[in-house]
Amino acid sequence: MIKVGIAGTRGLSTLMGLNSIEDVKITAMCDLDEEHLKTAAARIGGDVRTFRVFDDMLEKGDIDAVIIATPMQCHVPQAIAALEAGKHVMSEVTAGVTMDELFWLCESVEKYNKIYMFAENVVFDPRIQQVKKMVEAGLFGEPYYAEGMYLHNIADLFVYPNGKTSWRSYWQCGTRGTFYPTHSVGPVMQWFAGDRITEVSTFSPGVYNTLGLKQDSGTTSMCRTANGKLICIRVDCMSPRPHNTDFFHLQGTKGCFTSKAHPDDYNRVSFIDDENDSPLHNMKWKKLEEYEIYLPDRYKNATEEQIKAGHNGSDFFIVEDFIKAVRENRQPDLDVYTGCEWTAVGLLSALSVTNGGRTIQMPHFRKNMPLDEKKITL
């Protein structure tokens, strides 16, 4: 039996996933807001213990693992405390809020030798995984360019219902740059197997919001990989517009994929070898669904309960991978180094955009990273 504690009521997105897996039990829940805590505990049911202090849950909660779903500035301090207490960790995005925090986090995972998983759930979107299989099958040829967009107006989240200022006014939109990059970076990096981001340049039109916040009215980060590929990440959480939190594009030498841009659109692909087309002739769009043969089996065979866990099953499969990693005592694919690299795109973008788009080098996050590499240079 794996006993799990949840920090932050946002962590209930994992509730159905955890309840769907045998020999897993939520035994503890922690949140500073007592009313939210009571409501969350009622949803969990059973004999779950509740705590308002995170360290108390680590000490008295009778847990093997922690799911951290608190505000982003709490992620690293709580992850390190949990690792030191001998608990496995799955942390919501982003991994941290400063570059030094990312280095500390890597060091702590190595020191305490516990499982750490970065909970980037959009990676588990069925479309992303289907396109990944199509890349592996060579349908797109060699991928060399990708885009990811996260367009989400969060103006209504800067103040809590009780009138107090939300943490988002500071740690998200009180900063500059592509502050929330992982929902875009994580998915597109699935299509560049074995590659990593080596440099980031970020540009913006400036600040046009009337809220007095520093966050740019949209930022565009250009990321270069070790293999010379180019990735464009656009984040805009300040402009008045409908949501589009998961737009993606992939271009390869033999074809491309473009996700739907609005609710009435559809996910589409085109290949030069379809119907004897060539790059010199008119290529045709086809629906991604026509290539469902490449959808991984666990998505094809997903139960109604798994799909209901959230985000077309993503919230179930991410939990499944975490629990499997704990049981097998191995680090997951979305390990601490991956989470830190994707998070660092946003942190480095703040330096870049404030220096006129200057290119900033990405540290190579890896096991036993030398101390003299744990720095940022302009």
**Is 339 inside a domain boundary?**
no
Mean pLDDT of 352-361: 97
Contact 357, 202 (CB under 8 A): yes
Residue 97 domain flag: no
Question: Domain for residue 163, yes or no?
Answer: yes
For residues 5-30, give the mean pLDDT: 91
**160 part of a folded domain:** yes
Which residue segment(s) compose the domain that 222 sits in?
123-297
At residue 277, the pLDDT reads 60
SS (H, E, C) 136-194: HCCCCCCEEEEEEEEECCCHHHCECCCCCECCHHHHHCCCCCCCCCHHHHHHHHCCCCC
Rg of the Cα atoms in the chain: 21
pLDDT (0 to 100) of residue 359: 98
Given this model, what pLDDT does residue 51 score? Answer: 97
Q: What is the pLDDT of residue 261?
A: 87
State the chain's mean pLDDT as an integer. 94
Residue 98 preceded by cis peptide, ω within 30:
no
What domain count does the chain have?
A: 1
CATH code, domain with 275: 3.30.360.10
- Does residue 274 carry a pLDDT above 60? no
pLDDT above 90 as % of the chain: 83
Looking at the chain, the whole-number percentage of residues with pLDDT higher than 70 is 98
Task: Please count the other Cβ atoms lying within 10 Å of the Cβ belonging to residue 106.
Answer: 24
pLDDT in tens, 278-324: 666 678 999 999 999 999 999 999 888 788 777 778 889 999 999 99
In a domain, 164, yes or no: yes
What does the alpha-carbon distance between residue 369 and residue 363 come to, in Å, rounded to a whole number?
Answer: 9
351 within domain boundaries: no
Instruction: Give me the pLDDT at residue 46, please.
Output: 84
Residue 236 pLDDT: 96
Residue 45 lies in a domain: no
Query: Over the stretch 225-270, which tens digit does the pLDDT of each residue have?
Result: 999 999 999 999 999 989 888 899 999 999 999 999 888 899 999 9
Q: What mean pLDDT comes out for the span 70-85? A: 98
In a domain, 196, yes or no: yes
Q: How many Cβ atoms are within 10 Å of 86's Cβ, its own excluded?
A: 12
What per-residue confidence (pLDDT) applies to 276?
Answer: 59
| Least confident window among 11-15, 20-24, 290-294, 344-348 | 11-15
